[in-house]
Amino acid sequence: MTNAFQSFPAGPRALRQLLLGAAAALTLGGSLGATSILSPAYAQSAAQLQTQRATAPVAIPGVVPSFADVIDRVKGAVVSVRVRLGEAAEDSESTGMPGLQPGDPLERFFRRFGEGGAPGMRRGGPARQSMAQGSGFIISGDGYVVTNNHVVKNAQEVVLGLDDGRNLHAKVVGTDEKTDLALLKIIEAGQFPFTEWTDGSPRVGDWVLAVGNPFGLGGTVTAGIISARGRDIGAGPYDDFLQIDAPVNRGNSGGPTFDVYGRVVGVNTAIYSPSGGSVGIGFAIPASVARDVIGSLREHGRVERGFIGVQIQAITPELADSLHLKTSKGALVADAQPNTPAAKAGLRSGDVIVAVNGEPIEAARELSRKIAALGPEKKAQISYLRGGREASVEITLGALPDQAASAQSAPGRQSEDLDRLEGPRLGLRLAPGRGGVTVAEVDPASPAARQGLREGDVIVDVAGKPVTRPAEVADAVREARRSDRKSVLMRVRTGDSTRFVALPVSPG
């Protein structure tokens, strides 16, 4: 037994005595009830655990916790979700997470984990009826149930398996694809066990419990900790995932992540998995996001989000240098769309939004989440930087519209190769286009390719000046080099999205 403890880093003396005492109790008495051979510290902690077990099953320092009592309280609210899908071609979705391009090296690692015939689990094959399985949890006594959108998408029939053995039909009340959440309602009348959302914010290192239906094995419990917060995995525009190491697998989708008090801190949604099974990296939608979305689905059947009408992007160190910013914090406005609240308030391309209602904006996605959460018709005080000076404006938010498709500018016939410029090779061939200068060709090994430029992109302006001819782009690059600048700032349109690119123009 001594050798086993030597494999761990030396800890506080009291903790080592406690662990050795517990080991001695198991070896000599076969039960932790043999208090005569336990260390005083362990005996006291065990007594505390016994008295608190009925009300607050939390981990007492120095004692390995048991989660049995909290699971007894919440397991009745966790359900398995079985879905009969309609006849639809099953090659319409990939196995990867939304936001990853087909063929992306990370595509095979990020997986939704619905079971059976869930969307995204098969490729190809003829159209046929299929089944999907996932998990969910009841949030009200009258039978409202939370799960993932991808579990019930295109559902023709939804059957919930309860902990007491009953199978009850449910209807889909509403879904939200942007956060991958769905709200169901049990059709049969009755009073059902339910669980509640947490009011607090879990910390990295807090214990969590995942309960669900992995591989169709209902009522499965796993434990772990919060590994990280605020994860952006490219699943949607409002990514803010909790990362957990409690094992979750296919069929856990839509199930709850509990804290040690039995409150829901997250909704299990995705895993990072080279193999298809759990490797200890799971992602859950935090309760702070899910609670608001589910509340809106319950009240309106849809989610109403705030909208100001700007395309934004993260500020890289290169962009910060080109814009003469002191830090990379904030959200860079790549474009303020015409006739939107932002445009009417005077926001424009190149502004950097640094706060909303006095709350600092650290990154671009944080701005998206804050504006969306405020909702339509609400007023927001927007603080921004322009030309090195801070200003603010009050904006009345609109409602987030459906994304409109727009045609991409077609390349012109004449082209100019920026490789012919003096200095380092940029790897761009340009042509006249509609609303700017079109990128006709990009060398995959060039600085332009490394900055994300690709064929069909349209350069709208360079160094703050609109461009319509390749020669104007070339002149701006030459001017940047003559000024000994490291990069030149370009505003680039890809389809209906606009972003800034800091293209290196100096050696190295």
Q: Tell me whether residue 150 is one of the annotated catalytic residues.
A: yes
Is-catalytic flag, 206?
Answer: no
Place of tokens 């001594």: 2
**Cα gap 259→203, rounded to integer Å:** 11
Is the four-CA dihedral 21, 22, 24, 28 of positive or negative sign? positive
The DSSP secondary-structure symbol of 52 reads: H
| Encoded amino acid at 200, one letter | G
> Which of 290, 289, 320, 293 is CA-nearest to residue 304?
293
Q: Give which of 332, 74, 104, 63 is closest to 210, Cα–Cα.
A: 74
CA distances from 267 to 145, 181, 194, 274, 303 (A): 12, 9, 15, 22, 17
Whether the CB-CB separation of 293 and 179 falls below 8 Å is answered with yes
Sign of torsion over alpha carbons 220, 223, 227, 230: positive
Size (the chain), residues: 508
How many C-beta atoms lie closer than 10 Å to residue 344's C-beta? 16
Of 130, 135, 150, 409, the catalytic one is: 150
- Beta-carbon contacts of 485 under 8 Å, excluding residues fewer than 6 positions away, are 322, 505, 506
Strand ranges, E, within 148-180: 155-161, 167-176
How far apart CA 21 and CA 41 sit, in angstroms, is 9
Residues 6+ apart with CB under 8 A from 145: 79, 81, 136, 137, 138, 139, 160, 170, 183, 184, 185, 186
SS3 state at 179: coil
Report yes or no: 468 and 432 within 8 Å, Cβ to Cβ. yes
| Sign of the Cα pseudo-torsion (408, 414, 420, 421, in order) | negative
Q: What separation in angstroms does the CA of 96 have from each of 93, 109, 112, 216, 272?
A: 8, 7, 8, 22, 10
The one catalytic residue in 176, 180, 239, 351 is 180
Structure tokens at 481: 């080099």
Q: Is 180 an active-site residue?
A: yes
Which residues partner with 432 through β-bridges?
437
Q: What are the residue numbers of the active site?
A: 150, 180, 253
